[in-house]
Structure 1
Amino acid sequence: MRVDRLANRRKVLSLDNMSNSFLTYRQSMCLKLGGFVAVLSIVVYIVYYFYLPASMPPGGGTMLGLLYGAVATAAIMVLMAYSVRKRSYRSRLGTLQGWLSAHCYIGLLTLLWVPLHSGFRFSTNVHTLAYVLLVLVALSGLLGAYLFAVKPRQFVQYGAEIVYPGDVVDRDNIDSQMNRTMQQIETLSQGKPQVFQQLCKRELAEGQPGRWHGWQLLLQRRLLRETVPIDTLQQFLSEIPVDHQADFTQFLVLAKRKRDLQYQLATQMRLKNWMQVWLYIHLPVSVIMLATVILHIALVLHY
């Protein structure tokens, strides 16, 4: 029991380290630096436009407005470069955790730099569309940070491979346990009375996820199909011959283990699919946002 508690504690600590390190990387260096840059950007904006003689009102055409626009554009390039860096496994250009931490906080800073660039002037045009898409990317990014930083600690009991495939535990561990348990049930049913074999056959068939079941789990409250409760199966013990009752008790234990594994697997499928949904939103919108920003710059340079 003590060994199990220590193992679970190590698993939680490992997940905490992985999920929180990118938010608190190097004692929250990116958070502190980002906060300082945000305050500095606001102070410079106020001093430049309200305390220094300026020939133009706040806007993208002023020297400071152009500077904020250039900084925001450079920041967006850095944000997009993270997709390349995370696939460059041999790169020595900083750690991946450091890149992810900078990715999060630079993304939030762009939400400030763009309004400072435009002088908080927006209208119904492609320029505003670029900012709206940027906001959508940032909001989906916050959702992703929540999934990676908060959810792993809530679902440790369902397997660490749900969020960090192959890093903490063998991702095939549950499948192998499921197959081994079902084989034991099938072996146990051989040469048994008909009612015993029927219950084993029904148990092997029930609760199995069907096609597209993983995606249906996103909207369904029930994770698995309806199965006969274990308490109901125990009532069949009286119908089993005495010399097979010990095996039937073992069958009940295996059935309980199989259902626990099925619930664990279904939970993993639900969480993995939610993360895939997040990727399907965050990545395409990011690409569209980048294309819109390029169009915005091209139009400004043309006119």
Structure 2
Amino acid sequence: MALNKNILLFNNSMYGKIALGLGIVCSGIYMTSENPANGGTWQGYTLGTLGALIIVWLTLLGIRKRSYRSSLGTVQGWTSAHVYLGLVLLLIGTLHCGYQFGWNIHTLAYVLMVIVIVSGMYGLWLYLMLPSAMESNRKNLSRENMLRQFDSFNQEAVIIAADLPIEIQNAVGSAIKHTTLGGGTLAQIRAKDSSRVSLDATAPLNLVDNRDQKALLSYIAHELPKPKHSVEQHEKLQALLDVLSQRKTLLNSLRLDMHWQTLLHVWLVVHIPFSIALLGVLTAHIISVFFYW
């Protein structure tokens, strides 16, 4: 998280200061416009040209990230400039059009620009907040190791339950079978737990809600003090309860990790394609302006 915060504080927030100064200068240029202000004045052309150059430069960040031998500044510096210039671009684009909108390609370019900038702000928030949270949630484990550990808990629970009454075996097996994890993009974004379990051995198809594994854990906890179980079975039940509790904690961590990873993926799916679309529409916007100039 400290590394990501340094993006905003890079070189004493130099690019933030540049963006602020640029915004002030552009506002001054706009204020010299005659009413009504529009993109067809010299002020509009000046602001539009500057905005177009910034848009093209912003799209070069992806290339710079992959240019490992490049000496044109650091990736951290480029990213800091990307953030601040992207924010001031919203002001420049709005001043360029003079707050005049319509059903045309010019307004479409503006709308796409706003979508790209807003999605970029959301992406910035994700990258500021998620890394430290994901690291803490994973406890220095990779996703693959977490899944392997989860499978290990499942196997251990089945082995322990094998020495217990059949109804407990069925409950454990049913909970494992009907535990939900992952799913489609929407399911991962919602991070909804739709786990279910059958606690009635006579009606295995009668499934009840087992969100957060509460139903299964409650069932085992109620079985633990019953006098019908032998001393050895009591020990097994306690061991089973411990394993299932660890399994539940890991399951919650996995579900949260998938939720956060999906948010990052969805952001990229929106931000990058809309950036490409913006370049295309911006090109059409510029060509149409010079064609009718």
| TM-score scaled by length of structure 1 | 0.78
Verify: 1:24 aligned to 2:14, yes or no: no
Partner of 1:36: 21
Partner of 1:88: 67
Verify: 1:141 aligned to 2:130, yes or no: no
Pick closer, same or farther for the CA change 1:222–1:186 going to 2, 3 Å: closer
Partner of 1:301: 290
Partner of 2:56: 77
Partner of 2:152: 180
Verify: 1:240 aligned to 2:229, yes or no: yes
Q: Is the 8 A contact 1:218 1:273 kept in 2?
A: yes
Looking at structure 2, the residues matched to 57 and 234 of structure 1 have their Cα atoms a distance apart, in angstroms, of 74
Q: Is the 8 A contact 1:223 1:263 kept in 2?
A: no
User: Structure 2: which amino acid aligns with 1:134?
Assistant: M
Verify: 1:268 aligned to 2:253, yes or no: no
Cα RMSD (Å): 2.8
> Equivalent of 1:99, from 49, 72, 78?
78
User: Structure 2: which amino acid aligns with 1:170?
Assistant: S
Matches within 5 A, 1:156-175: 157-159=136-138, 169-175=141-147
Q: In the TM superposition, what is the alpha-carbon distance from 1:267 to its structure 2 partner?
A: 1.4
Looking at structure 2, the residues matched to 200 and 111 of structure 1 have their Cα atoms a distance apart, in angstroms, of 56
Q: Secondary structure at the match of 1:24?
A: helix
Partner of 1:12: none
Partner of 2:268: 279
Looking at structure 1, the residues matched to 250 and 145 of structure 2 have their Cα atoms a distance apart, in angstroms, of 10
Partner of 1:3: none
Looking at structure 1, the residues matched to 30 and 176 of structure 2 have their Cα atoms a distance apart, in angstroms, of 68
Looking at structure 1, the residues matched to 178 and 153 of structure 2 have their Cα atoms a distance apart, in angstroms, of 14
Q: In the TM superposition, what is the alpha-carbon distance from 1:195 to its structure 2 partner?
A: 4.0
Looking at structure 1, the residues matched to 12 and 158 of structure 2 have their Cα atoms a distance apart, in angstroms, of 54
Q: Is the 8 A contact 1:188 1:247 kept in 2?
A: yes
Partner of 2:245: 256
Q: Secondary structure at the match of 2:93?
A: helix
> Equivalent of 1:218, from 189, 196, 203?
189
Looking at structure 2, the residues matched to 287 and 180 of structure 1 have their Cα atoms a distance apart, in angstroms, of 45
Looking at structure 2, the residues matched to 78 and 171 of structure 1 have their Cα atoms a distance apart, in angstroms, of 35
User: Structure 2: which amino acid aligns with 1:269?
Assistant: M
Looking at structure 2, the residues matched to 253 and 57 of structure 1 have their Cα atoms a distance apart, in angstroms, of 72
Pick closer, same or farther for the CA change 1:231–1:169 going to 2, 3 Å: closer
Looking at structure 2, the residues matched to 149 and 57 of structure 1 have their Cα atoms a distance apart, in angstroms, of 41
Q: Deviations over 1:220-259 (max 9, x none)?
A: 6546443224232122222432223212211110001111
Looking at structure 2, the residues matched to 124 and 199 of structure 1 have their Cα atoms a distance apart, in angstroms, of 61
Partner of 1:126: 105
Q: Is the 8 A contact 1:196 1:248 kept in 2?
A: no
Looking at structure 2, the residues matched to 176 and 204 of structure 1 have their Cα atoms a distance apart, in angstroms, of 15
Q: Secondary structure at the match of 2:189?
A: coil
Looking at structure 1, the residues matched to 103 and 176 of structure 2 have their Cα atoms a distance apart, in angstroms, of 59
User: Structure 2: which amino acid aligns with 1:232?
Assistant: Y
Looking at structure 1, the residues matched to 285 and 77 of structure 2 have their Cα atoms a distance apart, in angstroms, of 30
Partner of 2:201: none
Q: Deviations over 1:262-289 (max 9, x none)?
A: 1111112222222222222222222221
Q: Is the 8 A contact 1:223 1:266 kept in 2?
A: no
User: Structure 2: which amino acid aligns with 1:65?
Assistant: G
Looking at structure 2, the residues matched to 70 and 170 of structure 1 have their Cα atoms a distance apart, in angstroms, of 46
User: Structure 2: which amino acid aligns with 1:258?
Assistant: R
Pick closer, same or farther for the CA change 1:169–1:118 going to 2, 3 Å: same
Q: In the TM superposition, what is the alpha-carbon distance from 1:260 to its structure 2 partner?
A: 1.0
Q: Is the 8 A contact 2:163 2:233 kept in 1?
A: no
